[in-house]
Structure 1
């Protein structure tokens, strides 16, 4: 794609990077076939190619974002299916990130939209606030039908719909002692939304790793990875979260003997693996951020290095949902399924596995109609495999899909923990 940025514009490193990305696009349109919003809406401007044109025009002309641009950029899930499909290697992730920052800096959203986004940014990354908000949401759930009829307030209705009907039980803190000799030492990201919505996931991870002889550290002081606000264009807040985590984790790195930083929420994993890029221009953090990104691994990525025992077949069919942030963002596709098969489970792949379930961080709140359509399509494909249980590797997907089906859905690591000596996942006891 030809561009016409001025030398002055290209002196901005963010613009210069976006210009290089834009020039790689050859207009082939392969991305449209795998883009969930284009497949759903059929609008060229709701495809990666269409959004690239809008971003190019906005940045080249150095103009503030307008309502049309914001509408179509907001509809992007950042699922990154287009990057998997693109034959030219267009770095769509960093282009759309830049566009969102530009929107946040130059566009004044309607009051209701500003309030809802501000509310999400002030609550979701903070576990204590999030737990309090969920308690209030359970009480206010009867108001959802009324809020849904008022379009600017539809996101509030979506928040009430997605809130679990009961508070998640926090599992016992005790874990078995590590098997001698200790085979390694890792940090486990505790996270923000996941331990609030389903604390059993990290508990299963600690149990499994400990039985395998892996020492697990959860350093005090870490917080949200920054993904939630990063995808809303709130870059300063996202970078503050990143720097805080880097400071905490680098103390563990400097102490020596750290094999990996493990993440059980793949949306967080994609962002942490991108810390090196996000902070590349920060002279104080660039090198440290790159170190942290290199250590970051999805839990299935790490477990695949431990040569787990092949277990006998068990009578349980698992439909594996591949989270977009795992298959497109981190390019991890086969490892989770291989681990489940090694543990004795029968694994089935739903049709259209490349398409997003519609969760995408805060997307199911901010774009409830498109999200609901994608959820319905995803659930239909999963149920067609006639599974006993659904497995996935991201808390957003788990919450989204669970709201559309009666089939139990658990994190992949919960099934692995069970197979290798841990308790049966609570959601399978029904």
Structure 2
């Protein structure tokens, strides 16, 4: 078997068989296939695509390249949730205690942030003492006793995907549905959950910019899950503007607590309840979505959800006082109010530009080794549809940096205004199961 022949085959739009896909993945991981040949192959996939069986084979090859997380010691049906990435997406912090409150075990592995999207692990580490590295025994015991635990991803989970993703990033082949789908699903399969709920973001802050693209990605991932014997549901949700009002690690923890207390913004509360409801149905706690949504809404309103979040913080070594005293979270030394340029309505907010603004303020990483400032971020005082007058504050920037002018200019570019009030966006576009 020769790599050049397989590149040629895919270039002609022909389907590769299981052994050929395995040969490509293993050969690249073992440094037997050079970057220039893998780059050519990725570009061929970008233009010619893959069929359902090929995508499933590619996913499994990624899984087989590293460790599999064995969750067999955890009782019950294990349900995992994954977001395709967004700005202000703190929903895992809400969903874990919600689902755990319903008695469904959540054994969560999450990543750190890179670029304009934030990472759940970074957010949790902004809580003093919170441990995101647990030994296996503690992780399993916490899930069995409290129905929840969250840790950072293993370094040897899907190493083939990590290596190939780095190449995709510099060869303009990131936005390929077969490659995105296999990348996401390989991590979920390797994580060991029985069932998977996917939050597929669509809009300016997401990989998928249009609803049809997002639905195609969602359908592809659900097909992969089914073909590999994992019950999978995908929910296509809005990312045309950042979720909620806060972007940045400590800021997002504070807002997650507000959601769990029943004081969150409509968009993030609705999406969190939707995802958690499907997770609890798959986990066997409720017979249907409507029953789950109703009960989980009650869990929030009764105060049980925020108490469960306190418990999560405590069992992982963190200071749970932050739930009632959010000022204990890291605070920036400088707060810059950005004013509206005129009057009218906020017609659009470019989520990616807000994410980049937060990164420029210190909240995100340009490179993996960068140290982040947990207190940095953006508070969006005005969202799409809000009326503004001249000199109203549209957002507040939080930073410890002395030079923040680039961030101010970026956030101004993110906001658009109109004399006509825009129609409200849908929060949930489609559910594929």
- TM-score (structure 1 length as normaliser): 0.25
TM-score by length of structure 2 reads 0.25
Structure with larger RCO (C-alpha < 8 A, sep 6+): 2
Of Structure 1 and Structure 2, the greater strand share is in: 2
